[in-house]
Chains A and B, each alone.
Chain A
């Protein structure tokens, strides 16, 4: 890659990061507060009644799930909202006129989503860690699932942002696909506690593997082998990335 290509990529990445940083109250502080509220409510109600993993309190179990849920939702929100806003405002033209390749566009939007997802995740972790002492049984797994999961959702956000023409289409994508998939992925419970049918259904949800693998990094315990989770996540990311890059290369809904 030439030095001017590096500058082009770096600039788009910096612009995307500054975009969410300028409204950090909404893009970082608000999701951290939401996660803390979940912890307070669910932790208080279920602490005495549920033990999802042996030897681990429910609050301690819940924290990694909430962190990962925040990472995923915010990574999705970053690329999707940036694209839909710039499409509707007409300012997307400023990245379509320069000589940015589809690879540069893809990697800059997804990398910015990863940064936002990880920043929000760290924020949630720092605030919620006070409620239950954290353990880091396998930190590399935490890092791998955190970054790859954010990249996966950043890519999904990119695809949704390209596809949607209106904010309500994007909201439908977020509320009817991303939100249920994250909620039903084992954030608040272990899938082992589910009836066999729903346990099987959960194994078809890629979000389950993201949450389960991420949690393995904290407790060295999980519902499925973390290598399987990593494999499923990596495969899902590659498929989504190929779709996203293909849409950008074809100029789908961007260049008529």
Chain B
């Protein structure tokens, strides 16, 4: 039984198609990434899984429970960290967590609540009113609220948006531990290096459709070769410019077939009289894969438009 099964899910808002026949199967115990640009449909999909939004067509199950017809079992199995920084201004952190635990039917959950507070660095602020917390601390409470009933499936929608490095490290070490203990984790993030470091499998969404779904390793192997970023003064020879794939902050980004090509490119630059001010060589990362896939899809979408123009 899959942790989350999304079958042919479509969501329409009036004439806008937010999700178009999305199929996904997230296995139990996986650390799964859901990536895509703004407006790709990530939050809509998560909201459908959580029962906050109803799909126009299709079916979603969480731990085998239909999110509409068996919503109580489905929601009990799910913990969601929402993207919006919401809080109830009347209560302290501990009251917030105790209520959240109670909503899930857990009356005597104090020991786990204390553990969550400690693991997310909230213990010293447990009796502070939510209004008095900083944005980062409020984000920690949102995470704690999602974990308070020990759900087997945890969905984190942009959990590290606008938070400091310390929280990211605290959060990821706790989430990794939960994943090791068997919890399924689904993550959306704008920080692709986080997804690359954490996720075993990744789905990429664009305009409501899944355009890539594979293991992180397989996606990275999508882009072969070596990536070289260099900042140069002088005119770069055309033989080097032929390898250019991007230009970032005035630096050339080149894709080379193999590590041995690096020496040849440097020699050609020097022969042309270029002065190399900065140089970085590495393998392609998830951001490169993401950008390439998005660009490919945009190109594909442009072709029929041109044909009919």
Contacts and interface: CB of A to CB of B under 8 A. Distances in A.
Nearest to B77: A99
Contact of A96 (B51, B85, B88): B51
B72 A251 contact: no
Contact of A86 (B51, B88, B95): B88
A8 interface: yes
A205 interface: no
Interface string A7-36: 110111011001100110000000000000
Interface stretch (A70-78, A87-95, A169-177, A207-215): A87-95
Interface string B34-57: 000000000000000011111000
Given A8-B102, A255-B52, A91 B82 contact: no
A94 B78 CA distance: 13
A12 B95 contact: no
Contacts of B106: 4, 7
A150 to B, nearest CB: 21
B263 interface: no
Nearest to B51: A255
Q: How large is the interface on A (under 10, 10 to 19, 20 to 34, 35 or more residues)?
A: 20 to 34
A101 B104 CA distance: 11
B73 interface: yes
B104 A98 contact: yes
B53 A8 contact: no
Interface in A64-114: 86, 89-91, 93-101
Contacts of A12: 99, 102-103
B53 A255 contact: yes
A251 B54 contact: yes
A90 B101 CA distance: 19
Given A255-B52, A255-B54, A256-B54, A100 B91 contact: no
Nearest to A15: B99
B98 to A, nearest CB: 8
B84 A94 contact: no
Interface in B70-129: 71-73, 75-76, 78, 80, 82, 84-91, 95, 99-107
B100 to A, nearest CB: 6
B65 to A, nearest CB: 10
B188 interface: no
* Central interface residue in B51, B76, B82, B105, by most chain A CB within 10 Å: B105
Given A10-B102, A15-B99, A255-B52, A94 B88 contact: yes
Given A11-B99, A93-B86, A98 B107 contact: no
Contacts of B52: 93, 96-97, 255-256
A246 interface: no
B91 A97 contact: no
B145 interface: yes
B50 A91 contact: no
Interface in B138-160: 145, 149
Interface of B: 13, 50-54, 71-73, 75-76, 78, 80, 82, 84-91, 95, 99-107, 145, 149
29 contacts: A3-B105, A4-B105, A7-B105, A8-B105, A11-B101, A11-B102, A12-B99, A14-B99, A15-B102, A18-B95, A19-B88, A22-B91, A89-B87, A93-B52, A93-B82, A93-B86, A94-B100, A94-B103, A96-B51, A98-B75, A98-B100, A98-B149, A99-B71, A99-B76, A99-B103, A99-B104, A101-B72, A255-B54, A256-B52
